[in-house]
């Protein structure tokens, strides 16, 4: 059983296009995250939702818009894609509200290539 | 200065070797510390949490020095399967936000 799943796994698209990445977790967790891992392998938080409420919104271009229809899903929509958006995007989830030890479980990643 | 800094490596060691990774963090308010492991083209996975008193999990030992803002990971008797990138991760209190280092790459050769 896949705990955190993402679709698609690979996404190749042209500059200027709009695309979405979907994430689902079946762990019953309350909190979900989007991370971006760039070509230098640096993994950085973009957004986090807790029970459908946005709780982390890092300095990310407003072309990126997360949407959480329910606590098991967190999607990422990207408008007007740019070359610099090429990266691996990881979804993650965790149970705690930040108290104690947080184990974040990551999805397999979506490798986005913008041409 | 980066919030979490690691030596990128790669560390190239023979099987059976002992290898140590270091990590420093800049924010003294940091409260929780972890080591994650990331295999090539895979997602990060929690390896172990790091406690003030130090903790061990089999061949892996993690240490924390709050005064120096320094975290370490020691791997004894390296296996080929230990080859991966090891990510030092820090969380500040009352925050969901994890800050990841850029990782240290380990290659264990036969």
Count of helix runs (H) and strand runs (E) in chain B = 0, 11
| SS3 state of residue A93 | strand
Q: Chains A, B: CB contacts under 8 A, how many? A: 48
Chain B: residues touching A (Cβ < 8 Å):
32, 34, 38, 42-46, 49, 85, 87, 91, 94-100, 102-103
Q: For residue B23, which of B79, B68, B76 has the smallest C-alpha distance?
A: B68
Whole-number Å distance between alpha carbons of B98 and B85: 17
Could you identify the residue written with the tokens 């108290």?
A99
pLDDT digits (tens, 9 = 90+) for A64-90: 999 999 989 999 999 999 999 999 999
Whole-number Å distance between alpha carbons of A70 and B41: 29
Contact B98 A102 (CB under 8 A): yes
Chain A: closest CA distance from residue B29 (Å): 14
Contact A48 B97 (CB under 8 A): yes
pLDDT of residue B100: 93
DSSP 8-state class, residue B83: -
pLDDT of residue B9: 86
Chain A: closest CA distance from residue B96 (Å): 5
Chain A residues within an 8 Å CB radius of B32: 101-102
Contact predicate A48/A58, CB 8 Å? no
pLDDT of residue A51: 83
pLDDT digits (tens, 9 = 90+) for A12-62: 999 999 999 999 999 999 899 999 999 888 899 999 888 888 888 887 899
């Amino acid at each position: 059983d896949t705990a955190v799943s993402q679709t698609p796994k690979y996404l190749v698209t042209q500059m200027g296009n709009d695309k979405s990445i979907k994430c689902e977790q079946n762990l019953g967790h309350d909190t979900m995250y989007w991370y971006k891992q760039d070509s230098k392998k640096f993994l950085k938080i973009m957004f986090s939702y807790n029970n459908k409420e946005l709780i982390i919104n890092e300095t990310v271009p407003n072309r990126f818009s997360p949407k959480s229809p329910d606590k098991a899903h967190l999607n990422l929509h990207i408008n007007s894609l740019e070359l610099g958006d090429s990266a691996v995007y990881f979804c993650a989830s965790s149970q705690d509200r930040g108290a104690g030890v947080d184990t974040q479980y990551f999805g397999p990643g979506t490798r986005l290539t913008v041409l | 200065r980066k919030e979490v800094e690691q030596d990128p490596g790669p560390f190239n060691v023979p099987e059976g070797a002992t290898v140590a990774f270091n990590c420093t963090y800049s924010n003294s308010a940091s409260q929780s510390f972890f080591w994650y492991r990331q295999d090539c083209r895979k997602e990060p996975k929690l390896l172990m949490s790091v406690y003030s008193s130090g903790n061990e999990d089999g061949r892996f030992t993690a240490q924390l020095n709050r005064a120096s803002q320094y975290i370490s990971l020691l791997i004894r008797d390296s296996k080929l399967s230990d080859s991966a990138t090891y990510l030092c991760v820090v969380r500040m209190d009352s925050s969901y936000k994890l800050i990841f280092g850029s990782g240290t790459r380990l290659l264990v050769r036969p």
